[in-house]
Structure 1
Amino acid sequence: MLYKCVLQLDGIPQPVEIMDTSASCEESSDAHLQWADAFVVVYSITDKDSFQWAASTIQELQERRPSARVLLLGNKSDLGHLREVEEVEASTLALRYSTHFSELSTAESCEAVTDALDAYLKEIKIQRHHSGLSSGNVSPKQRKLSVTRMLGSLIGRHSPPPQPITELIVLDKEERSKLVRCSRQI
C-alpha cells in the first residue's frame, strides 16, 4: 500500500511516499533493503523483547547495508511507569551503530512523529549535500520515502505535487518477520 503526504522541511513542502511494507510479501527482503537508503526501526519502551528485536535488526541492516541511514525510535514514552527499556540503553545502542535516536509517544501526538522524521530527514539532506559536494555532483538523487502504515495514518494521506522525494523504510517487529519470510529527494 502506498500513501502520499507532504512534510514541511525548513518551511519548504517536501513530498513523501509512504510504503506499507507489511501489506505485501511479493518482494524479497533484499529488494526492500535495496529500495531504501534510510530506515526507521521502532520499538516499545515498555517491551524489552521489542528492543532486543530492534537491536538485532539494526545489526542486520549494518551488515547488509552498511551505508544505509537508520533512525531508532522508542515509542510509548507516555508510559514511563511501565518502562522496560531505559533511554540510556537505547542511546548507547544508537551510538554503537552510529544511528539517530529519539523517544516519542504516538498516542500523545502525531507531531512528535513528524518532528522526529523532520530532524532525521534534515540530517539526510545535509549528508547528501556534503556527499554531492565532495564528489563534485551537487544534485542529489531522486528517491522515495517508504515508511509503515502506522506513520502514514499519523502523518496523513495527501497527494503532493510531483517533486523529487526521499526513500525510507520503517520496520517494526511484525513487519520484519514478514520481510524475512519473503526471503525525500530533499
Structure 2
Amino acid sequence: MSQEGPFKIVILGEGRVGKTSLLRQFVSKTFSEHEASTQSAAYLDKILQLRGTQVQLSLWDTAGQERFHSLAPIYYHNADGALLVYDITDLDSFRRVAKWVEELQVMGTKCVLAIVGNKSDLQSQAKVPKADAETYARSINARHSTASAKLGFGVDEAFGALAEDVLASKARAPSQNQTSSRRTRGALVVEEDVVRPRQKSGCCGG
C-alpha cells in the first residue's frame, strides 16, 4: 500500500463551536460534555486508508478565544488543509468563518478548505440557514457539510473528504526537488522551511 503525508490540517473557528470535540470524535471516537477550552493549540496524528493509499494527517486544534488570536498564524503556517468549524445554533460563529479565511489569505497560506457546521444534533435550534452556508462555501471553493461531534454523525466524512481533497491537490502538483513548493487550487506557493511549533502541554478542548 502506498503512503502519503504527513499533511498538516488545522482546525479553525470561534471558541466553544466544538473543534476539539470534533477532533476527538474523529481520532478516538470519544465525546465529553465538559470539554475544556483549548489553550494555544493541541496536536494529534491520524492515519486514514483512502482508495488504497495510507494517508497520514497531522491535526492541529487551535484556540478560538480572542486572547489567543495572535498566536493562530503560528499554527496554520504551511497548512495543507483547513477545517473551518461553526456552530449551527450560533449565527455569529458562522459569520466569523470569513475572518479565518481572510487570515489564511493574508498569511499567504494557500490550502484546501472545508467548512463544517457542528452540533447537527441540535437542528431544531439551528440559526444558520444551510443554503447560506453552502453558498458561502462555494464562493471560496470549499466543501460544506454538517456534523455532530456528540453523536458522531458526519465527522469521519468531513475529515475524510478534506483529506481526499488535499491528496488530490498534491497529485496535481508538479514535482519540486528540495523545496516545499506546492500547487493548491490553481495557485503555486513556494514556502521556506520553518520549525514546527511544539505542542503545549495541558488540557486542551474546543
- TM-score range with shorter-chain normalisation? 0.5 to 0.7
Q: Does 1:22 align with 2:68?
A: no
- State the 1:99 CA deviation: 1.5
Say which is worse superposed, 93-102 or 83-92, in terms of deviation. 93-102
The alignment status of 1:106 with 2:149, answered yes or no, reads yes
Cα separation, 2, equivalents of 1:21 and 1:83: 24
> Which position in structure 1 is the counterpart of 2:170?
128
CA distance in 2, matches of 1:29, 1:79: 29
- Name the one with the larger helix percent: 1
Contact kept, 8 Å, 1:62 with 1:68, in 2: the verdict is no
What's the counterpart of residue 31 of structure 1? 74
Residue pair 2:86, 2:97 contacting (<8 A) in 1 also: yes
Asked whether 1:83 is paired with 2:126, we answer: yes
2:109 and 2:43 map into 1 onto residues whose CA distance is 26
TM-score in terms of structure 2 length: 0.56
Name the SS of the counterpart of 1:20 in structure 2. Answer: strand
Note if contact 2:63-2:72 (Cα within 8 Å) is conserved in structure 1: no
Gaps spanning 5+ residues in structure 2: where? Answer: 1-41, 181-204
Q: What is the alpha-carbon distance in structure 1 between the residues aligned to residue 76 and residue 168 of structure 2? A: 22
How many pairs were matched up?
Answer: 139
Question: Would you say the 8 A contact 2:104–2:110 is kept in 1?
Answer: no
Residue 115 in 1 paired to residue 157 in 2? Answer: yes
Mapped partners of 1:63, 1:18: distance in 2: 22
User: What's the CA shift for 1:51?
Assistant: 0.6
Name the amino acid aligned to 1:13: Q
* Structure 1: unaligned runs, 5 residues or longer: 142-173, 176-186
Identify the residue that residue 95 of structure 2 maps to in structure 1.
52
Q: Tell me how large the CA RMSD over aligned residues is.
A: 3.2
Aligned equivalents of 1:96, 1:125: Cα separation in 2:
22
CA distance in 2, matches of 1:127, 1:50: 28
Q: Secondary structure at the match of 2:168?
A: helix
**Equivalents in 1 of 2:126, 2:73: separation in Å?**
34
Q: Kindly state the Cα deviation for residue 137 of structure 1 after the two structures are TM-superposed.
A: 5.2
